[in-house]
Chains A and B, each alone.
Chain A
């Protein structure tokens, strides 16, 4: 997943030779005084606050779904089949008369757990590999990084498909597959951070004062190189939601009656012409979650990327 750049860095339009007169007159209004800073702050942080609220809602749905949706996601009421969204069924009902809203809310748990597992695997395994490669160096570094290069030469979706083929289907296997397919980029970032930190004066100082290599690794190198990796984890979270829902859409996720975001959309595929809500609404929920995760990730990132 390409690192997306949202931050509206105000690149002061370079003084153009075409309109030299406009320069000085426009200048004062552009300078960011207190008056200009407050609305900007509100606009920027308003988005972050909104993103936080969306994510909080999704997490609530994942942890305590019954608070948000009192209905049963598996209860089918045949007389209510394929009802459009309305006051009784906010998101409508599916072909078996199950409430789509309840199914989406209950699906959040599975989808979010899988995403967390995937990002956790990528973060854990990737960090350890990157730390090893960067700190040990030599042959270990060469072998690990060549492997990472090879992993990166296969698109991550295809890599996770290959892993699912080998592991078998189900939400956990899909999560493992997506996690492993992300390991390479985490290992790479971790390694470059370790290399950056490795020769810092304080490491030298620690070594000179007799701290053992393991101690240097755990107490000095790791804490000082882990932040960019954590921020990568935040950035990759949205991507992992997408990857997992794609695999579950393709039919490799949870077995049919259990709701999962990707498979909800796949189920709605057969009713595109008659029941638009069945595939559209779960998709909108995925979009909102991914956008919220990305906005929050970017709000966290700048401080660490300085």
Chain B
């Protein structure tokens, strides 16, 4: 276990390093010159003092050769220093730090809503016996992923703020301001959860141990809520990293729509002003969150799923898709399924 943990930690650090390097390559090697962008905003062309420009470049370390810039910023990033914002001159970590609570509140509320609605929808789809209703419920997640998030936000504002005058439209001064943005952000997230959990539930319900439980006379409710839901939820945990990453990315759009001062708005402003250090900081934040969540999920698996604890290390599925059922129904999985039934 200790060896596994060490290997996983090393792997995570490797991914983070690669994300840093890749974002550095993209942001610093492609043709954009942040200093001239910044100076353009301040002074008229031609009135530029070359000495002042050089001083500015030196301040942001942009006068050094690229590899030295890279090493310098990597050293900083390891120590938690992501450099200075080009437009404001303030440290990037500080900017993200002040914006983070608002985004966390939004993402947390959205995740809660999405979990409730998504799991509810998945369970309802598995529960209903009406074929029409099942088909209808199953069509909901694909339809909701086809809606542009920013448009949903604007329509909600029109209905609830300007039409019904129930909720405030823009801003983030009071807790009530979080409702509409959270609903907007929860829609695509909930759709993903409903889809992944629904698929997992459906495949779990066709497993032999469910048939065994049913044969033993376990009630439908207990089969769905206990026997099928738990392994399906563990399966669905694999997408936790993607879901949280998408919540953060979605906050860029949602916070812009609702004029909330969070990390998403900060990102949008940074892209608009080509504030490269801030953009890289946000990319690193997302990559870190993704890596940490995946690490946590991997480490939590043996605790949640006794089958994985029994087989040392997490199960690795073969590449590609499960081609023929005969190959998938390997003898190794069937006996372990039966262990799950302790009704």
Which residues of A are at the interface with B, using a C-beta cutoff of 8 A? 1-2, 4-6, 8, 10-11, 13-14, 16-18, 146-147, 149-151, 153-159, 161-168, 192-193, 195-196, 238, 242, 245-246, 249-252, 262, 265-266, 268-269, 272-273, 276, 279-280, 283, 286-287, 290-291, 294
Q: Are A155 and B276 in contact (CB under 8 A)?
A: no
Q: Could you say which of B129, B143, B154, B191 contacts A283, with CB atoms under 8 Å apart?
A: B154
Q: Are A155 and B249 in contact (CB under 8 A)?
A: yes
Cβ distance A216 to chain B, nearest Cβ, rounded Å: 19
Q: Are B32 and A166 in contact (CB under 8 A)?
A: yes
Give the top 10 A-B pairs by smallest Cβ distance, nearest first: A283-B151, A155-B249, A166-B30, A4-B142, A157-B249, A290-B146, A150-B18, A155-B245, A8-B135, A273-B162
Interface residues of B in 239-288 (CB under 8 A from A): 239, 241-242, 245-246, 248-250, 252-253, 256-257, 267-268, 270-272, 274-276, 279-280, 282-283, 286-287
CA distance A177 to B285 in the complex (A): 20
Q: Are A8 and B19 in contact (CB under 8 A)?
A: no
In the assembled complex, which residues on chain A have CB atoms less than 8 Å from the CB atom of B211? 14
Q: Could you say which of B214, B245, B320 contacts A14, with CB atoms under 8 Å apart?
A: B214
Q: Are B272 and A251 in contact (CB under 8 A)?
A: yes
Known A2-B196, A154-B286, A192-B320; contact A249-B253, beta-carbon cutoff 8 A: yes
In the assembled complex, which residues on chain B have CB atoms less than 8 Å from the CB atom of A280? 151, 154-155, 158
Q: Are B27 and A166 in contact (CB under 8 A)?
A: yes
In the assembled complex, which residues on chain A have CB atoms less than 8 Å from the CB atom of B158? 272-273, 276, 279-280
Q: Which of A11, A158, A195, A279 has the most CB of B within 10 A?
A: A158
Which residues of B are at the interface with A, using a C-beta cutoff of 8 A? 15, 18-19, 22-23, 26-27, 29-32, 129, 131, 134-135, 138-139, 141-143, 145-151, 154-155, 157-158, 162, 169, 191-192, 195-196, 199, 202, 205-206, 211, 214-215, 217, 220, 239, 241-242, 245-246, 248-250, 252-253, 256-257, 267-268, 270-272, 274-276, 279-280, 282-283, 286-287, 290-291, 319-321, 323
Q: Are B245 and A154 in contact (CB under 8 A)?
A: yes
In the assembled complex, which residues on chain A have CB atoms less than 8 Å from the CB atom of B249? 155-158
Q: Are A4 and B141 in contact (CB under 8 A)?
A: yes
In the assembled complex, which residues on chain B have CB atoms less than 8 Å from the CB atom of A166? 26-27, 29-32, 276
In the assembled complex, which residues on chain A have CB atoms less than 8 Å from the CB atom of B162? 272-273
Q: Which of A4, A153, A242 has the most CB of B within 10 A?
A: A153
Q: Are B283 and A162 in contact (CB under 8 A)?
A: yes
Q: Are B19 and A150 in contact (CB under 8 A)?
A: yes
Q: Could you say which of A17, A151, A158 contacts B282, with CB atoms under 8 Å apart?
A: A158
Q: Are B250 and A157 in contact (CB under 8 A)?
A: yes
In the assembled complex, which residues on chain B have CB atoms less than 8 Å from the CB atom of A157? 246, 249-250, 252-253
CA distance A163 to B28 in the complex (A): 11
Cβ distance B119 to chain A, nearest Cβ, rounded Å: 16
Q: Are B154 and A272 in contact (CB under 8 A)?
A: yes
Give me 19 other A-B pairs in contact (C-beta within 8 A), A17-B214, A155-B242, A155-B286 excluded. Answer: A4-B141, A5-B199, A11-B202, A17-B217, A153-B15, A153-B245, A154-B19, A154-B283, A154-B290, A158-B282, A162-B279, A164-B271, A192-B319, A250-B253, A252-B272, A268-B154, A279-B158, A280-B158, A287-B151
CA distance A151 to B25 in the complex (A): 13
Nearest chain-B residue to A288 (Cβ)? Answer: B146
CA distance A280 to B286 in the complex (A): 31
Q: Are B148 and A158 in contact (CB under 8 A)?
A: no
Q: Could you say which of A1, A150, A162, A272 contacts B15, with CB atoms under 8 Å apart?
A: A150
Q: Are A279 and B138 in contact (CB under 8 A)?
A: no
Q: Are B151 and A265 in contact (CB under 8 A)?
A: yes
Q: Are A154 and B27 in contact (CB under 8 A)?
A: no
Known A155-B286, A192-B319; contact A283-B148, beta-carbon cutoff 8 A: yes
Nearest chain-B residue to A289 (Cβ)? Answer: B146
Known A154-B290, A155-B246, A164-B271; contact A286-B141, beta-carbon cutoff 8 A: no
CA distance A252 to B135 in the complex (A): 39
Q: Are B150 and A195 in contact (CB under 8 A)?
A: no
